[in-house]
Amino acid sequence: MKTESVIEPKSTLQPRSVEGRFRNAKTAILVFAYAVFFLLPWVRWERAVGPDQAILFDIPGRRYYMFDLVMHAQDIFWLTALLFLAAVLLFFVTTLFGRVFCGYFCFQTLWTDAFRFFEKFIQGDRVARLRLDKQPWNAEKLLKKGLTHLSWLMLALWTGISFALYWGDAFELTTAFFTGTAPSAMYGTAIILMTTTYLTAGWAKEYVCLHMCPYSRFQSVMFDQDTIIVSYDMNRGEGSAGRVKPIKEMRDQQVRQSAGHGDCVDCGLCVQVCPTGVDIRKGLQIGCIHCALCIDACDGIMDKQGWKRGLIRYTSEHGLEGKKTQILKLRTVGYGLATLLATVYLVWSIGSSKLLEATAVQIRSPLFVQLSDGRIQNSFEVKVNNKAMEAARYQLVLDNFPGAELDLGQFSDIQLKPDTSIRILAKVRYNKLPGDTQKNREFQFRLTPLEGKVKEAVIIPSHFITP
| pLDDT tens digits for range 70-118 | 888 778 888 888 999 999 999 999 999 989 999 999 999 999 999 999 9
Q: What is the total residue count of the chain? A: 467
CATH code reported for the domain at 356-465: 2.60.40.10
Nearest to 165 by CA among 145, 146, 190, 140: 190
pLDDT at 435 (0 to 100): 64
pTM of the model: 0.83
Classify the phi-psi angles of 232: left when phi > 0, otherwise alpha if psi is within -120 to 50, otherwise beta: beta
Virtual CA dihedral for 124, 128, 129, 133, nearest 10 degrees? -140
Tell me the average pLDDT across 7-30.
83
Residue 327 amino acid letter: I
Which pLDDT score is estimated for 12? 67
Query: What average pLDDT does the segment 241-263 reach?
Result: 84
Those residues whose C-beta lies under 8 Å from the C-beta of residue 414, and which sit 6 or more positions away, are 384, 393, 394, 395, 396, 422, 424, 447
pLDDT tens by residue, 213-229: 888 777 767 888 999 99
Q: Where in the chain is the domain with CATH 2.60.40.10?
A: 356-465
Identify whether the C-beta of residue 408 lies closer than 8 Å to the C-beta of residue 426.
yes
Average pLDDT, the chain: 89
Q: Which of 171-175, 247-251, 429-433 has the highest mean pLDDT?
A: 171-175
- Percent of the residues in the chain that have a pLDDT greater than 70, as a whole number: 96
pLDDT value of residue 338: 93
Mean pLDDT over 438-459 rounds to: 85
Q: Are 209 and 289 in contact (CB under 8 A)?
A: yes
Give how far Cα 332 sits from Cα of 100, 226, 456, Å: 16, 10, 43
* Averaged pLDDT for residues 276-283: 92
pLDDT for res 80? 87
pLDDT tens, residue by residue, 375-432: 889 999 999 888 887 888 888 999 888 888 999 988 888 888 888 888 989 999 988 7
Report the C-alpha gap between 235 and 250 in whole angstroms: 18
Distance CA 416, CA 402 (A): 29
For residue range 327-383, list pLDDT tens digits in order: 888 889 999 999 999 999 999 888 888 888 888 999 888 888 888 888 889 999 999
Q: 449 pLDDT band (50/70/90 cuts)?
A: confident
User: pLDDT confidence of 240, banded at 50, 70, 90?
Assistant: confident
Give the residue among 256, 310, 308, 320 at the shortest CA–CA distance from 283.
320
pLDDT attached to residue 440: 82
CB 148 within 8 A of CB 118: yes
